[in-house]
Structure formats: structure tokens, C-alpha cells
Chains A and B, each alone.
Chain A
């Protein structure tokens, strides 16, 4: 909230401070009303309330959107340009800002944005104990590899974070050494060497580093028992996960998919399935596990 420009902050002043705890998403579009999604409701911002109709709601000017972008990145585009090439950047607190706008490309590669037309602010939350059901079901005798999947906003990152925290804290009987490979800076939200989210006492973090490089360093630096990483799905993920498995490290990861069938339609994830990387596939919805599948993809619960 304090990183939003004053003019925009004024629009939220009527909401009590605790209202922010429930905010999941803000969508800011130049020349359009501000869409807000909380745990309980959604709507367009209009004079300190949320209304269901966009008509008459507060319109965000292009200038204020630009100001918001620069304010969120602390006037330091140079710090986020590598992330921006992938269409988003993370800010302190682990919140993620998706960016739309005029893209600068060269030879098919994204170099950055010449202007922004929309910003999607996804607010990171910490829900202690949210992964307990997963830990209780999947981590009985051994440390398994799990893939959490679901639609955007289903709580993948939140549960993954808590999964790491629970195992690191030894809730299964003994603490496991966990390495968080936080490529996007969302899982740990490392700031000045300290994670801003609780990840347990036996967790080490590599932040803003490609997963494969981070794993290589983690294996050399500290022999982790579990590596945790967000958002699998790229072609580059298979060799990296295989090398982790070869080193005897379990994997907890997340991926975008609406269903198990949808998951397998993604070529990279299909190959992970064929390679039997994961022991469990867990579908999430509204921050809870709703379906457990074993390594063969059979529904277990």
C-alpha cells in the first residue's frame, strides 16, 4: 500500500487497514476502472467502496498508471529489467506485478516495455498450516516429490511456501534440509539476506536465480533433502529436475493447470510425468488441496 503513489493511495483510504489482509489482486488499466479482488468479494473501486458495475467508477489515468509502475519498482527499472522480459516483476514482500503494454523486441527477444497499459498486482499471503493436510497425507514414511497445480489464484505459491516451512520445522518427526530455489523472488521474498515469509528453521534460499543454476549451487553448498521451486512448465525444467532427482533430492514444485488432463497437455509437464519425477500430483482450489493423485495419475483422494 505504501508503495502506491499518493493519488492512488487516496482511493483506498476509506478501507480499514485489515481490509488489505484479504486483498488478492488489483488490476490497474490505463483509462479504466480499478478492479479489486479480495478473499470475499470483487468489484471496481469507486470512492472507497467496491461496486459491481464499472460505470461511474474511478478511472485510472495513463499518467497515474505510469507513476504507479515507477513507484512499485522504486524508480529502478534497471533492477527489474531481467524479470520484465518475462512480463512481470516481484517487489519486496513477495508481491508480483504483471505488466502489459508496448513491448520492445529485437530478433524475437523481449527487451522491455516502452510504455505500460496495465498492471496486475498479485498480493502475496502467508497462511501458516495451509499445507498441513498435504504433509499429513503425502509425507508419512519418506520425503516425496510433489507437484501442486491449479488455476492462477488457487494458492499454489502460498501452499508451497507452507509445505517448505512445515517440513523444515520437522512436523513429520524430524526437520528436513530445504533449499528454496526462488527464481521469481515470490516464495521467500528475500530482503537484505532475510526471507520475509516464514520458511522454517532449516531452509536455505537462492533468490532471483535460474532454477538450474540455483540447484547446482545448492547441491554443492549444502546437500539439501528437498528443493522447492515455483512455476514449472518450461522445457528447461526437465534436465534440472532429473539432475536433482539423481542427487537424491525430493522436489516440491507448482504448475499452472486447471486439471490433471490439462497438466499432461503441456509437453514439458508431460515429460516430467513420463519420467516419474513426482510421487504426488495435488490439485488446489481456493487455497486448499481438492484432489490427490499418485505417481501414475490415479486419484487417491
Chain B
């Protein structure tokens, strides 16, 4: 039996890697959505009872370990040195790419920049709650399916790789 060519091995490893990456993204999506929901709830509480400036609100969240998966938060704080919050938020989200989020979820996140610090506290809280609801549903769904989808993608990756080996070896 001939040893597999380098391309055959490469194809096998690529298929497995793609499966693992897709599985990781599913889990990351669930974690990020949960963090976003928690972040929005925390914003609401801090707005009502904290008396913080918008910069402090974002800074506090950026420093909190529960939100370390939201890498756009520290970036936003940094950008606020030179930009308005709205622009800093938009640019930080743009730089992050939010690849694990769906288009509608990304829009909800972008909309936070139009709300936070831009109106009276009650109006901000109501708007954040409105933005939070669909994200909460998405987080719930992602959490429920993350495990099985991750397993599915991993299996598909391995099977695809094996298929590739069978065909080309």
C-alpha cells in the first residue's frame, strides 16, 4: 500500500480543522451571546443605580472577567479617548467583526451605541431592554444547541476528512 500523498494528508487535516473551528465558533457564539445579555442587564442596573458616565460604564464592563469574551469593550474604551461614544462603539464593533453573531444580532449590538448615554436614564433602560430581548432568545437558543451543534461539526469534519482520505488514498 502506498503512503498517502502530502495533499491527501493536508486535505484530511483541513477537513478536521474546519469541523473543529465550526464547533469552536458555535461554543464561542453561545458564550458571547450570554455575555452580551449579561452586559446589557448590567448596564441597565448601573444606569439606574450607579450614576456612572458612559465611559465608566464601558470601562467597568471591560475590566470585569465575565465580559472578557467581548473584546470590543476595551477597544471601545480606548477609542473613546479621541472619539465620541457612538463612533467609538461603532468602530470597536467593526474592528471585532462579530463573526459569531448573525446580522440581526449585530444590528442590535450596534444599536446600543445609539442608546447609551444619548437620552434620559428611563428611556435608555427601556431601549436596552428592548434590544436585550431578542438577544436573550438567541442566547438561550445558542446555549441549548451549542453542545450538539459543536459535536455535529466536529463529527462532520472528521467524517469529511476520512471521506477525503478514502477517495484520494
| Complex contact B118–A79 (CB within 8 A) | no
Q: Of the candidates A5, A67, A76, A112, which one forms a contact with B117 in the assembled complex, judged by CB atoms under 8 Å apart?
A: A76
A274: chain B residues within 8 A (beta carbon): none
Q: Determine the residue in chain A with the shortest Cβ distance to B86.
A: A75
Flag if A67 contacts B120 (CB, 8 Å): no
B124 nearest CB across to chain A (Å): 6
CA A76 – CA B86 in complex, angstroms? Answer: 11
B 6-49 binary contact with A (CB < 8 Å = 1; else 0) = 00000000000000000000000000000000000000000100
Complex interface residues of chain A between 52 and 93 (CB less than 8 A to chain B): 67, 70-71, 73-79, 81
A112 near B120 with CB under 8 A, answer yes
Chain A residue nearest to B83 (CB atoms) is A6
For chain B, give the interface size range.
10 to 19
For A67, what are the chain B residues with a Cβ–Cβ distance below 8 Å?
A: 84
Contacts of B121 in A (CB 8 A): 77-78, 81
Q: Given contacts A5-B84, A70-B84, are A77 and B120 in contact (CB under 8 A)?
A: yes
Instruction: Report A-chain residues with C-beta under 8 Å of the C-beta of B97.
Output: none
- Cβ of B85 < 8 Å from any Cβ of A? yes
Measured CB to CB, the closest approach of chain A to B62, in angstroms, equals 16
> What 9 pairs across the A-B complex have the smallest Cβ distances?
A75-B85, A75-B117, A76-B53, A112-B120, A78-B121, A76-B54, A75-B54, A76-B117, A81-B120
B→A interface (CB under 8 Å): 47, 51-55, 84-86, 116-121, 124
Given contacts A76-B54, A79-B53, list 8 more A-B pairs with CB under 8 A: A5-B84, A70-B85, A76-B53, A77-B117, A78-B121, A79-B51, A79-B52, A104-B120
